Structure 1
């Protein structure tokens, strides 16, 4: 049975995209193709998703797992505290 790509709303997928972008930006040693290998999806799928294409729920599940977060957290906006933590991680990674 093929899963409905709209199980996550467009807005949810936008938040998931933003979380993934932040994750890849912070982890400099983890470019898209390496993240795709870890997630178990093609790099084209990850690149297409980041470019705005909708993906199936199974792909989002794999992305969340590779990021070490829950599927529910993946579709939520980044909180102010999380954003501050990401900024600190980015600063530390840059140094």
Structure 2
């Protein structure tokens, strides 16, 4: 076992379950993003729910998708808009969209 940093006690235990941040291997980033975006577009493309905020979001998403690092940029954009998506999905009482968003948050952010 590595020596603890000065002033910190040594921790003598094993993790019962691996920390989810040890690896991202096997996580379907694209699939998770695709599911959440499908839910989101269903609302923000509808004039009854769309607005200037979501129009700007769509423009930024298109720019992210056109870049070289599309997964990182798109993922970052989704991450920075989680609270707005939660509000929209809750307002629509869309439990499936909320569940898919939670999966995206827990596995990818």
Provide TM-score, normalisation by structure 2.
0.37
Which has more helix, going by share of residues? 1
The TM-score normalised by the length of structure 1 is: 0.41
Larger RCO of the pair (alpha carbons < 8 Å, separation 6+) = 1
